[in-house]
Amino acid sequence: MVEVIVVGGGHAGCEAASAAARMGARVLLITSSLDTIGQMSCNPAIGGVAKGTVVREIDAFGGIMARAADRSTIQFRMLNRSKGPAVWAPRAQCDRTIYRRAVRRLLEENDNIMLLQGTVAALKLRGDKAIGVTTVDGRELAADAVILTAGTFLRGKIHIGTETRIPGGRAGDPAAVDIAEQLEALGLEVDRFKTGTPPRVDGRTVDFSKLERQDGEMPEYRFSHFERVPRPEQRPCWITWAGEEVKEIIRQNLKASALYGGAISGRGPRYCPSVEDKVVKFPDAERHQIFLEPEGLDTCELYVNGLSTSLPVEVQLRFLAAVPGLERARMTRPGYAIEYDYYPPHQLTPWLEVKAIERLFFAGQINGTTGYEEAAAQGVLAGINAVRRARGEEPVMLGRDTAYIGVLVDDLVTRGVDEPYRLFTSRAEFRLLLRQDNALKRLGPLARELGMLRSHEVEILQRRLEEEERLLESSRTTRVSPDQANGWLELWGERPLQEPTRIAELVRRPRVRLRELLRASGVELALGDLEEALMSVEIELKYEGYLERERQAARKLSEMANFRLPVDLPYLEFKSLSTEARQKLDRIRPQSLAQAGRIPGVSPSDLQNLVLEVLKRRRQVA
Amino acid sequence: MLTDVIAAVATPPGRSAIALIRVSGRGCHAVAAKVLQPFNPQPYRRARRAKAVDPRTGEILDQVLYTVFAAPASYTGEDMVEIGTHGGLLVPAGVLAALFAAGARQAAPGEFTRRAVLNGKLDLIQAEAVADVIDAATPAQRRAALRQLDRGLSRRIEQLREQVLELEALVSYDIDFPEEDSGPVPPQRVEAAATALLEALRGLLATAADGEKLREGALVVIAGRPNAGKSSLFNALLGSERAIVTEIPGTTRDAIEAMASCGGFPFRLVDTAGLRESEDRVEKLGIEVSRRYLRAADLVLFCVEAGRDLEPEEKRFVEELGDRVLIVRTKADLVPIDELPPPEAAELWVSALSGTGLDRLRDRLAERAFSGLAGGGDLAELVTRERHRLALERALEEVESFVRARREGIEAAVAATHLRAAVAALEELIGVVSTEDILDRVFSTFCVGK
């Protein structure tokens, strides 16, 4: 008997299937094409600012993304390296083919997962409860819970210029229409978003002598906490730019753009603008950077990152030729924009279940997000909770101070989205607590408790936690003598010591490094994958005061989060609340006071009155 | 409970032509309907006549004029009824009692305004301003309070909050978009933004001295040798405007302080002449004034009889006080006019007896004590309360810490926690935060999109 059906084999679907299977559920993953499971439809990279941390969070739950990225990394960079370890952001260029195959293989390694090729025509419902799906070829599949991860395939429409309009979920793949119509008929609110991709070029026709080469770094770094696979052969990226000539060509052809010609009505993201957008909104910028990213080891095709466009093919050819180094480049595929359905995510609970349809979960781009990592993160949470709900257990929610996954999902269900949603560190109130180095510490224990980690993974978690404990303890108790420390202090340009000083105290000075102090005072250091523990401990000690401040604020928030709000509150009757607050609360139906406070339009005074209304009701009930 | 029906007489008690009773809260229309006959709520906001009746006995209490308001279009943001009754002690109290019998309860002091704040009709600063408008004793106080009621100060603090967010956006941009066209934000740009912010915060804080002085009155202490005419000057300055004479806690009962309005500005005049010998006084100089008051004084009026030179010890006293002293030649009527200082001189002269010179002294007081405010008809935004000052000081402290942390080489994401704390301090004064605000700023400032 299948417990969970996952519809869709993208990044959300694969993580959902994996998470549910790790919880011990029998999972059926159904997708229109088994060959495109784990496909990277946009740029060939995993990670980045905030996103890289999410990859590590997914990995802490035993997920797939980190492992697949490690196996396919052909160029790696640690972004924000100069800005201090608290905001380090790992990002890997990945070989698309290796990545896709790795995902498929990781899924198949789990005996609880069955893969099935087919297109879902409809959800099977009993009352307001999802009990399975039917496929277009007439198969009836039953399950206790269904996770829908349809990505951009729901009524997807591809635009190249204003003339060309092809129904499709991704270049070359058909759109899903039937299920979109059923969901709308069920009364779910639906809206349209758009997103775009840039053209790709044949690397053999690129003049690399005019480009700046960008090699990878940190060969020892891995996303995954649980395995260390060798990296494949490494490839560089190349940097060039779009100057005045390119901008002029685009300016002259704006009318032919699907975006500006009026063919697309959906809203697009501000942070990933088309080159048309850049030219219009920032006319004074002299040039726009372009990164040529390798598509893989067995191809010379390059992804032209920075030139996302929906202009006609002929215009794309002309502006490409105006880019230094691409004068003679052959375009292998044109850029295009895609418009698709999403379901405004206020219709979901904080565990991603559709409020109107029990045991139906939505994860990924269908919820209005963008990015592989954002999709995968939702997949993990949906996978966990599909199983929890199917088994009649309490749903699992993640706090904003616990994980970027928590920030992401809370933003979605509480604030909603008005452009495709992407994570930024700025979205997190507690940026310093949510780091890539401490993802395992933050989430590993929960994953263990949920039964998602295998025994050797539990051991790794245990060792990591113990090592941090040991280093913290040593740093707090060990005093380093002037003899041991002053050589290093001089090197770092810090004042020398007069008397023995606790390491934990000394490391608060900005330029002082923990590793050298521990070594100088004879504390033994672990090597290999435990080295990261040292980094975590150094950050914890160095910024203890700051972190404590964030933790205090987080505790305050969790007090508010502990004030639960019944889901059936008659918000519209609460005359003491502003009209706007009443309507928003009625629509979103927050779980806690903390969540209510994050709804735009709900003021502190509304919150205060809400507390009084709830207390009054409690008294009436009692 | 915050939405139950409250009622209170809004006008002062005593003999008057009319009195106004306010009723507010959910269900207050139904409460009023039990007392007012006939009661027609709609159309709202129109005055109608009715009889006020005691719902228990049916006894007619008064002929009234009432106006009905529907939430949220009312002062409190709730359903409201305003009832104009005849004045006096008995009639309003009788109607109020009838309202209580019909289900209302006595409003606590300030409860109507409190509800207006809770319902988002006023922000906190505006609510404070309501009290200040009511309490205003001088034109300048009223003008400052009305400006605050008009959200002048609120807007100013909102601007400061925007500025902090702007600064945080620069830091966040660097963290969230490391590979963009415009490259990293130059440190000078962050420094310039921080400097501008610090200046703005300090600028507004600098008004706190004037602002608090304006709310509470500038402290003017009258000093001089025995018999120099201090008490006469004190009384002359108060004149008919003499408001309250208070006993100052911890001093002898002879030190008197009184509020006076000079040139439209509020002053607390203090005469310590009669203090007992035991008080810490400037005795060696033979000058009568308490040191404690001297320290706190915004201005010292130093009385010297007209037509005589200052004694050496008097000169020393004046020098010590520097620019906080104003020499006043008293008893001017005893001296020929050409022996008095000319109008343009730093010294002034008065005759408490005839009142000559008092107006010039008043104007001079206003000029000296409220130099930042006097003259110009329009008052700039002022920080008039300690609560405002403390929150602004906290915000300033956080921004200073941010600047220091950056100088010490503490990484940007860590230093930025100070900016978030600064925003929180400002928001405590007015509104709500959203991390979305920072991103909005990033996107409107930079072209991002690798």
CA B88 from centre of chain: 32
CA angle B139, B145, B150 (to 5 degrees): 125
CA distance B259 to B243: 6
CA distance B144 to B135: 12
pLDDT at A552: 85
The superfamily (CATH) of domain B215-369 is: P-loop containing nucleotide triphosphate hydrolases (3.40.50.300)
For the stretch A312-353, pLDDT in tens is: 999 999 999 999 999 999 999 999 988 888 999 999 999 999
For the stretch A199-238, pLDDT in tens is: 999 999 999 999 999 999 999 999 999 999 999 999 999 9
State chain A's mean pLDDT as an integer.
91
* Residue A393: DSSP 8-state: P
In sign, the C-alpha dihedral spanning A250, A256, A257, A259 is positive
B142 interfaces chain A, CB cutoff of 8 Å: no
Chain B partners of A607 at a C-beta cutoff of 8 Å? none
For the stretch A254-305, pLDDT in tens is: 988 887 776 666 677 777 788 888 888 888 888 899 999 999 999 999 999 9
Chain B partners of A543 at a C-beta cutoff of 8 Å? 414
Mark residue B103 as left, alpha or beta (left: phi above 0; alpha: psi -120 to 50; beta: remaining): left
Chain B partners of A431 at a C-beta cutoff of 8 Å? 175, 413, 416-417
Helix (H) or strand (E) holding A467: helix A455-477
In this predicted model, which residue has the larger pLDDT, A95 or A288?
A95
Chain B partners of A416 at a C-beta cutoff of 8 Å? none
Task: Confirm whether the ipTM is greater than 0.90.
Answer: no
Helix (H) or strand (E) holding A380: helix A372-390
Enter the tokens of residue B62.
């008064």
Amino acid letter, residue B350 = V
Say if residue B277 is exposed, middle or buried (CB neighbours under 10 Å; 0-12, 13-18, 19+).
Answer: exposed
CB nearest A426 (choices: B172, B431, B449)? B172
Residue keyed to tokens 């207050």: B28
| DSSP per-residue codes, A22-37 | HTT--EEEEES-GGGT
CB A199 within 8 A of CB A335: yes
Q: Residue A440: which residues within 8 A CB-CB, separation 6 or more? A: A56, A59, A60, A225, A461, A464
CB B113 within 8 A of CB B22: no
B182 interfaces chain A, CB cutoff of 8 Å: yes
CB A7 within 8 A of CB A149: yes
Cα-flanking dihedrals φ and ψ of residue A356, to 5°?
A: -80, -20
pLDDT at B444: 58
CB nearest B174 (choices: A83, A306, A427)? A83
Taking CA–CA distances from A85, the nearest residue in chain B reads: B411
Contact B120 A603 (CB under 8 A): yes
Q: How confident is the model at residue A422 (pLDDT cuts 50, 70, 90)?
A: very high
CA distance A411 to A404: 10
CA B303 from centre of chain: 31
For the stretch A156-184, pLDDT in tens is: 888 887 777 777 766 666 667 788 889 98
Chain A partners of B442 at a C-beta cutoff of 8 Å? 426
Chain A partners of B414 at a C-beta cutoff of 8 Å? 84, 86, 432, 543, 546
Identify the CATH number of the domain defined by range B6-118: 3.30.1360.120
Mutate to test the interface with B, among A212, A280, A412, A575 (most CBs of B within 10 A): A575
Residues forming CATH 1.10.150.570 domain(s) in chain A:
562-621
Class (C level, CATH) for A562-621: mainly alpha
Q: What does each of the 450 residues of chain B score in pLDDT, given as a tens digit?
A: 457 899 998 887 777 888 999 999 989 999 999 999 999 998 999 999 999 999 999 999 999 999 999 988 998 888 999 999 998 778 888 899 999 999 998 887 777 877 777 677 777 677 777 777 777 777 777 777 777 777 778 888 888 988 998 899 888 888 888 877 777 788 899 999 999 999 999 988 888 877 778 877 888 988 888 778 887 888 888 875 443 344 444 333 455 777 888 877 888 888 876 554 445 555 555 566 677 778 888 899 998 888 888 888 888 888 888 888 999 998 888 888 777 777 777 788 888 878 888 888 888 888 888 876 655 445 567 777 777 888 899 999 999 999 999 988 888 889 999 998 898 888 877 654 444 555 565 555 555 555
- CA-based nearest distance A381→chain B, Å: 23
Q: Residue A65: which residues within 8 A CB-CB, separation 6 or more? A: A11, A15, A46, A55, A58, A59, A223, A372, A373, A376
Task: Specify the fold of B152-211+383-445.
Answer: Four Helix Bundle (Hemerythrin (Met), subunit A) (1.20.120)
Which of helix, strand or coil describes residue A167?
strand
Mutate to test the interface with A, among B179, B418, B429, B441 (most CBs of A within 10 A): B179
| DSSP per-residue codes, A68-131 | HHHHHEEEEEEETGGG-GGG-EEEEEE-HHHHHHHHHHHHHTSTTEEEEE--EEEEEEETTEEE
In this predicted model, which residue has the larger pLDDT, A7 or A1?
A7
Taking CA–CA distances from A86, the nearest residue in chain B reads: B413
Which residue in B242, B244, B347 sits closest to B301, CA to CA? Answer: B347
Chain B partners of A608 at a C-beta cutoff of 8 Å? 2, 118
CB B8 within 8 A of CB B96: yes
* Residue A414: DSSP 8-state: I
- Calculate the dihedral angle through the C-alpha atoms of B290, B292, B297, B302, rounding to the nearest 10 degrees: 20
pLDDT at B145: 76
Chain A partners of B120 at a C-beta cutoff of 8 Å? 578, 603, 605-606
Identify the CATH number of the domain defined by range A455-552: 1.10.10.1800
CA distance A199 to A218: 30
CB A571 within 8 A of CB A577: yes
Would you say residue A580 has pLDDT above 80? no
CA distance A389 to A397: 13
Helix (H) or strand (E) holding A201: strand A200-202
- CA-based nearest distance A575→chain B, Å: 7
Chain B partners of A268 at a C-beta cutoff of 8 Å? none
Indicate the range of A94-108, A505-519, A525-539 predicted with least confidence.
A525-539
Mark residue B363 as left, alpha or beta (left: phi above 0; alpha: psi -120 to 50; beta: remaining): alpha
Contact B449 A600 (CB under 8 A): no
CB nearest B447 (choices: A84, A281, A425)? A281
Which residue in A366, A394, A387 sits closest to A4, CA to CA? Answer: A387
Percent of chain A with pLDDT over 70: 97
pLDDT at B427: 80
pLDDT at A622: 56
Kindly list the domain boundaries of chain B, sorted by start residue.
6-118, 152-211+383-445, 215-369
Beta pairing partners, B243: none
CA distance A373 to A423: 9
Count the alpha carbons within 13 Å of B438 in the hemisphere toward its beta carbon. Answer: 25
Q: How confident is the model at residue A389 (pLDDT cuts 50, 70, 90)?
A: very high
Sheet holding A145-148, edge to edge: A113-117, A27-31, A4-7, A145-148, A360-362
Q: Residue B342: which residues within 8 A CB-CB, separation 6 or more? A: none
Enter the tokens of residue A214.
């960008």
Count the alpha carbons within 13 Å of A432 in the hemisphere toward its beta carbon. Answer: 27
Start-to-end CA distance of chain A, whole Å, equals 44
- CA-based nearest distance B430→chain A, Å: 10
pLDDT at B442: 53
Would you say residue A139 has pLDDT above 60? yes
For the segment A509-528, the average pLDDT, to the nearest whole number, is 88
CA distance B388 to A101: 62
Which of helix, strand or coil describes residue A253?
coil
CB nearest B450 (choices: A84, A305, A432)? A305
